[in-house]
Structure 1
Amino acid sequence: MTHFTSNNNDANAMNPITEDDIANYLANTPDFFERHAQLLAQVQLTSPHGNRAVSLQERQAEMLREKIKALEHRLMDMMRHGTENVVIADRLQRWTTGLLTTRDPRSLPYRIAVDLQSLFLVPQTAIKVWDCGSEYLNEAYAQWVSDDVKALATSLTSPYCGLNSGFEASSWLPEPQAAMSIALIPLRPGPESPAFGLLVLASPDAQRFNAEMGTDFLERIAELASGALSRLRP
């Protein structure tokens, strides 16, 4: 049997046993409650679900139930996110299929914007492409792009997501005044290349496109769109 012993009562008075000492003792003496099993039934704790006293075993059972409930919530969240990811992957595949099956390069920019709007429920979309071949210069997407917009697109190393603070590119949208949040997605042939286009997504919801959201998905959109639109370049 293990005992607390002391050869110096004065030392005990100067250094009384603390709660940490007791906790360390119990943590390092796993057989304590085997020798004092009756304490398990005698120890009374306050229940977090009221002021009633409960036994140590009951409190442990409550803690276990709380852990199980927390794990159930995490599992439900994982299942929900998994379902959402499947839906997004399916929509992305359908969007990509649309790009691959579009035979006329002239209609590709329109297809990119329209399918993004319908498949991903984006309220407004717009796209502009510059440095196109001469046969495409009369298309709406190849006209009226200022040098400032071109410079902005090239300066973006990743899609911009946030409030629409009067970006010139928002004027391309059907209803610019309704664009509270906006995503600006540069289109370029390679990571270090100048942009040759800009894709705009917009929403009346100020939080739909925000600075805290990840841009990995939008970057994949940019890569696929850029690859498809390379057919328009000379």
Structure 2
Amino acid sequence: MPNSTLPNLPSAIANPITEDDIADYLANTPDFFERHADMLAAIQLTSPHSQRAVSLQERQANMLREKIKLLELRIMEMIRNVNDNTALSDRLLHWARTLFLNTDPATLPELMVAELADQFAVPQVGIKVWGVDAAYADAAFAKGVSEDARLFASSLTEPYCGVNTGLEAINWLPDPKAVASLAILPLRAGPIGSTAPAFGLLVLASPDAQRFNSTMGTDFLARIAELASAALSPLR
């Protein structure tokens, strides 16, 4: 009976060359296409924009144009962000200047609310301040705050942003039923993150559920809270 075992085959047949072997060879032999320059002109690739075959040079040119287009879009986005940030900073400075030029502490909370709504296009703004001097104890901004709300304010180490869950602070706004999202800014002596007890809350609200969503950054709101806290110090 003949032996069914295959004879020893040449290594090239027993171990065929794979695409990875070819890619590895070309990657490690940079002068290959210098010695075979005619192959570059003969290589045909499928265009990503159609089914027609294009040369390697044309495909590389298309890839380069796409990269340039992406870079241009990123640059334009950076320019827009710079312009937006500049405009935002200008509005913040205008708001702060208005507050510090005010000479009547009793009107300061109302002015603060009105200017925030105007400068930053916030549909509804509310404020409460407690622990004020006796001269301001009967003002609307100093009344109607529960002990729970005060404890909640002191527990915030940074501005809170999220959907309307029926917090007490909603009732300080002109139209609580129209609130879909809000930002609550604790007011305290010291920077945001301080453990000092809060002496007030500033509430920004919108009918847009995404205006003050829980994933947004709060650095800018923190600066507003710090400026507001400093401006309100004459009330205490």
Regarding TM over 0.5, the answer is: yes
Does 1:170 find its partner at 2:170?
Answer: yes
Residue 16, structure 1, aligned to residue 19, structure 2: no
Pair 1:108 & 2:111 matched: no
1:71 Cα offset (Å): 0.6
Q: Give the 5 Å matches for 1:191-206.
A: 191-206=194-209
Give, in whole Å, the separation in 1 of the partners of 2:156 and 2:61. 55
The 3-state SS of whatever aligns with 1:196 is: strand
Runs of 4+ in 1 over 3 A off after TM superposition: 8-15
Distance (whole Å) between structure 2 residues aligned to residue 172 and residue 95 of structure 1: 21
**Structure 1 stretch displaced more, 25-34 or 64-73:** 25-34
Aligned residue among 213, 222, 226 for 2:225: 222
2:121 is aligned to 121
Deviation at 1:16, TM superposition (A): 2.8
Q: What percent identity do the matched residue pairs reach? A: 61
Q: Alpha-carbon deviation of 1:26?
A: 1.5
The TM-score, its normalising length taken from structure 2, stands at 0.92
What RMSD in Å do the two structures reach over aligned CA positions?
A: 1.3
**Residue number in structure 1 paired with 2:47:** 47
Cα distance in 1 for residues equivalent to 2:26 and 2:134: 83
Q: Deviations over 1:131-164 (max 9, x none)?
A: 0010011111000100111111111111111100
Instruction: Give the equivalent residue in structure 1 for 2:93.
Output: 93
SS of the residue 2:232 aligns to: helix
Q: Which segments of 5 or more consecutive residues in structure 1 lack a partner in the other structure?
A: 1-7
SS at match of 2:117: helix
Equivalent-residue separation in structure 2 for 1:138 and 1:128 (angstroms): 12
In the alignment, does 2:215 pair up with 1:209?
no
Q: Where does residue 4 of structure 2 map in the other structure?
A: none
Query: What TM-score, normalized to structure 1?
Result: 0.93
Q: Do structure 1's residue 144 and structure 2's residue 144 form an aligned pair?
A: yes
Tell me whether 1:72 sits opposite 2:83 in the alignment: no
Q: Which runs of 5+ in 2 are unaligned?
A: 1-7
Report the alpha carbon displacement of residue 230 of structure 1 after superposing the two structures with TM: 1.5
Aligned residues: 226
Compute the displacement of 1:201 (Å): 0.3
Structure-2 separation of matches of 1:128 and 1:217: 20
CA shift for structure 1 position 15: 3.5
Alignment partners' CA distance in 1, 2:160 and 2:114: 20
Tell me whether 124-133 or 31-40 shows the greater mean CA deviation: 31-40
Question: Hey, what's the Cα distance between the residues in 1 that align with 2:140 and 2:9?
Answer: 94
Whole-Å separation in 1 of the counterparts to 2:15 and 2:157: 62
Q: CA separation of 1:9/1:87 partners in 2, compared to 1, >3 Å: closer, same or farther?
A: farther
Amino acid at match of 2:43: V
Q: Which moves more between the two structures, 100-109 or 54-63?
A: 100-109
1: distance between equivalents of 2:196 and 2:16? 71
Secondary structure of residue in 1 paired with 2:88: helix
For 1:115, the aligned partner's letter is E
Q: CA deviation at 1:9?
A: 6.5
More deviation in 213-222 or 30-39? 30-39
Give the letter for the 1:151 counterpart: L
The 1-side partners of 2:35 and 2:176 are apart by 77
* Secondary structure, aligned partner of 1:103: coil
The corresponding residue for 2:32 is 32
Alpha-carbon distance in structure 2 between the residues aligned to 1:9 and 1:45: 35
Deviation, 1:18, is: 2.2
